[in-house]
Structure formats: C-alpha cells, structure tokens
Amino acid sequence: MNDSIKKIMVIIAICFLIYGGYMVFITLIQGPSLNSHSANPRPWIVENRVVRGGIFARDGEKLAESVPDGDQLRRRYLYPQAYSHLIGYVSRTLGKTGLEAAYDEELLGLRGSFRQALEVRWGLRSHQGNDIYLTIDHHLQERAWELLAPYTGAAVALDPRSGEILAMVSTPGFNSNPDYLEKQWEAIKNDARRPLLNRATQGLYPPGSTMKIVTAALGLKKYPQLDEVIYNCRGEITIQGRVLKDLQAHGSVDLNDALAVSCNSYFAELGLRLGTDDFIRGLESFGWGKKIPFDIPTTTIPLPRSTLQCPNGLAEAAIGQGGIAVSPLFMALVAGSLGHNGIMMRPYLVQKIRSPDGKVLWSQKPSLLRVTASAEVALAVQEGMLEVVKHGTGSAAAIPGIEVAGKTGSAENPAGSPHAWFVAFAPAYRPSVAVCVVVEHGGQGGRVAAPIARELITLALSQGD
C-alpha cells in the first residue's frame, strides 16, 4: 500500500514539474510573441478598458492619443504621415508596429507601478496608461518631412553627444490612422513605392563616397602620417586590368584634397594599401554588420568578406560600392562618431515614461555604443570634411557663420540614377547635430541631399540644445 502511494506521489510530482516547466516555457519563451499576436484576444481586451497613453515629442507636442469612438477607444495620430514609420500604428486587424509595438505594455500601463499593472491585468478597474516622451524635435521632424516629401528617401538627425534622435523620416509615408489604414491597406501594401518600408532604419544602400570618411579614418589609423602624403591622381586607376575612373584627373592631392574633390583613385589605392584584413577589422570597429540596438526594428547585412578578398572588390568597397550596404541611421551614427572624437553613442528615441499623474517612471540615460576611432584620427577626418563643405563637392551645405563638416556621395544603382547621399555634423569641432540624408535616384549628393541637410542643421542649431 505504501509503495502504491509513493508511486502515485512520484507521478503527481513529475506531472507537476512538467506542468510547471510548460508554464515557464509559455510565459517566458512564447509569452511575448503570443501576447503580441493579432489573433490573441487578451491584449485587445486590455486595450478596450485602458485609455492608451499618449505619445509626445520632446517639447510636449502631442503626437498620438486615444479618443472615444462609441463604446470603444480609437487611436488618433495628429501627424500621421510624418511619424508613420517612427510611431507606427495600432489596429485590431493589422496589429501594432513602431513605437506603439515596442512600448505597448508601457502605453497600456502594464509596466510602471506594480499596483497599476495589477489593476490593468486583472481588470479591477478602467485605467489610464502611461505617456511616453520622445527625443524628437517636432519642428525639425516636420521640416525634414517637408523637405523629403517630394522624393523617395530618408533623413536622420541626431545628437552625437548623447545618441538622441532629433528627427527621423522616411518617404513616402502613409496615413497611419487606423480607420484610413484598414480601408486602404491593400493599396498601401501593394504600392510599388513601398511606403511601409522605414528607409531610415531598414533601407539598405551602397554608401557611395560617404564611405570615404571611413576609409580615411582606417588609413590614418594604420598610417598616422597619411595626411602629409601627396598622391598623383591621373583620373583613373587600373586594378587587375579593370579601370576605375574619376570624373577628371585631380593631379597632386593630399588627404583633405582627396576628400574635398571625392577622388576615387586616391581612396581605391588607399583601400588596397590597407589590405583585406585591416579593412575588415576597421569596418567592424565602426559596427559594420552588427545589429544596431534601437527602439524600433533596424536592418543590417553581414560584411561581404569573400568580395573583399579580391583587389577589385576591396577597391570598390573603399569608395562605397560593391557589396557594401548600410542604412541612413547607421551612416548618421558613423558621421556623428567622427564628429564626437571617435565615440559612437547608442541611439534612442524614447526619452522618458510618465505615469498619468505626471510622475517620471523611467528615463533614458545616454550610453556608449563603441569607439570607432581615436580622437586624433577623428580630428584629422574632421579637417577633410570641413574642406568638402568649404571648397569641395559639399559647398551647398555651407551655412554662414557655422563650420559644417560633411561628405557627399553618389551611389551607383543598377536600377537607375545614382542615390544621392550627404552626411554632416556641426558645429564642426563640437557638434550638437549630425545628419544623414539619402535621396533615391537623386544623382549627385552635393546637389540634392546637401541642401536638405543644410536646412536641417540650420534649424537644429537655431533651436539650441
């Protein structure tokens, strides 16, 4: 009898352990994905009894709110196009994207005070969710949208000292208000311009000549006296029988001159001198191929190591062509790090979270992402980028009374005209803003992207820290 009882107790214990393990698996492993799945009714039950928190710009401008719609609550976006990729949307049929998805539990009050979360989860009473405040400067965001709206492309402005995103737009956008979005979903989804793609964080483009600031930094690290070396540009360079051309023969150039006129021959030769191993290690120090930790989804691709093993592939990569592809956010971080003494800060969009009674529940603290270059190397690259704007291809970004350091790019594109790039930071030696602009099929970066960057830098600096 005792043996039978023991066996039963052992079986019960084993079943309890299996059940406990299963519940842990469901809660911790599958819980987040199940909770966010559009077919799961529980989050939407919570959604209907909670006034979802508002989303505000850094200056307090309201960007998103929940309003009564019969016996339910409807999400309303006050600037649906300009913030469509950044804030995202909330839809019972389409799900949640952007910051609405990333900060869903905070906006619903499921994270915050223990009492608030308990009341919301168990439906003890209706509740107001928490508000989130962004790092976005609303005036800068609106201006970026206005400037980019005629084109397909993206713009990112950030503070290189902290990693705060000051503006981030992707065009074309879409009307993110749920009532419109749900009715027009098929048309938006099938639009050949791909309005649902956030080009700022997930668009991947060859960086073109903006890559030359990175190649310059890697060259200066390996050859500290590089900026004193004179190179004779004959207008082309031949690599294993293949001719890589410049627009013209630049003659005798040093590093600053080569950046100012965007000399392909100089930087292709420099890439070959660096060699595959040092070039790859250098790109990795900038974060190439590594995931960008960020509030909303980002896309990166691995370094094309096999391509970089051959001289032609290495030379092409050194001038921003070949298998190298990056997002505008990444290039904004790269440029910002060179303006910030080689220090790349972790980018972020959410500044703080407030409870309904105004109490700050959480605030973001700036943190180091990586060191991309020494201060001496960064300063030397800054000097060359100043020449780009003062006397070179980026003169359209010049601002009277302000030293702007920048670099143009025209990235070859097999599908049509080159993509126009421009990266910059200002004021040059102590920058408070770094900008990246990409215009798809825009041609020369100095003509199309640089003037947009100039407008954004001017507005950002006029509004102070």
All domains of the chain, ordered by start, with CATH? 41-134 (3.90.1310.10)
Helix or strand (DSSP H, E) at 343: strand 343-345
Mean pLDDT over 411-428 rounds to 88
Please state, in angstroms and rounded to a whole number, the distance separating the CA atoms of residues 321 and 215. Answer: 12
- Greater confidence (26 vs 266) lies with 266
Distance (Å, whole) CA 188 – CA 183: 10
- Enter the DSSP assignment of 112: S
- Residue 311 CB coordination number (10 Å): 16
pLDDT of residue 24: 46
The dihedral through the CA atoms of 19, 20, 26, 29 has a sign that is negative
Q: Which residue has the higher pLDDT, 12 or 2?
A: 12
What's the mean pLDDT in 444-456? 94
Identify the sign of the CA torsion 149, 150, 155, 157: negative
Q: Given a cut of 60, is residue 4 above it in pLDDT?
A: yes
pLDDT computed for residue 230 by the predictor: 96
Q: Which of the residue ranges 10-24, 121-135, 149-163, 228-242 would you say has the lowest mean pLDDT?
A: 10-24
With bands split at pLDDT 50, 70 and 90, how would you rate the model's confidence at 92?
confident
Over 70: is that where the pLDDT of 79 sits?
A: yes
Burial class (CB in 10 A: 0-12, 13-18, 19+), 282: buried
Please give the pLDDT value at position 289. Answer: 92
pLDDT, one tens digit per residue, over 264-275 is: 999 999 999 999
Question: What are 416's strand-pairing partners?
Answer: 413
Query: Closest Cα to residue 431, out of 379, 363, 369, 377?
Result: 379
Residues 6+ apart with CB under 8 A from 238: 244
Higher pLDDT residue, 26 or 417? Answer: 417
User: Which of 309-313, 327-331, 402-406, 416-420 is predicted with the least confidence, judged by mean pLDDT?
Assistant: 416-420
pLDDT of residue 7: 66
Q: pTM for the full model?
A: 0.88
Say what the pLDDT of residue 28 is.
Answer: 44
pLDDT at 26: 44
Q: For residue 28, how far is the Cα from the chain centroid?
A: 29
Tell me the per-residue pLDDT of 28-64, one tens digit each, with 9 for 90 and over. 454 445 454 544 555 556 666 788 999 999 999 999 9
Cis amide linkage into residue 195, ω under 30° from 0: no
Residue 31, pLDDT score: 46
Contact 86, 135 (CB under 8 A): no
pLDDT, the chain, mean? 89
pLDDT value of residue 237? 93
pLDDT at 68: 84
Tell me the C-alpha distance between 75 and 78, whole Å: 10
Residue 427: pLDDT band by 50, 70, 90 thresholds?
Answer: very high
**pLDDT band, residue 443 (cuts 50/70/90):** confident
Tokens of 92: 């019972």
pLDDT of residue 439: 97
Between 23 and 277, where is the model more confident?
277
**pLDDT at residue 44, as a whole number:** 57
Token pair recorded at residue 89 = 């949307």
User: pLDDT tens digits, residue range 372-381?
Assistant: 999 999 999 9
Average pLDDT over residues 457-463: 94
Extended beta strands in 29-173, E state: 50-51, 55-56, 62-69, 72-77, 90-91, 95-96, 127-128, 131-134, 153-158, 165-171
Question: Given a cut of 90, is residue 1 above it in pLDDT?
Answer: no
Q: Is the dihedral of CA 274, 276, 281, 282 positive or negative?
A: positive
The span from the CA of 339 to the CA of 426, in Å, is: 8
More confident residue, 321 or 11: 321
Lowest mean pLDDT among 225-234, 274-283, 286-295, 413-422: 413-422
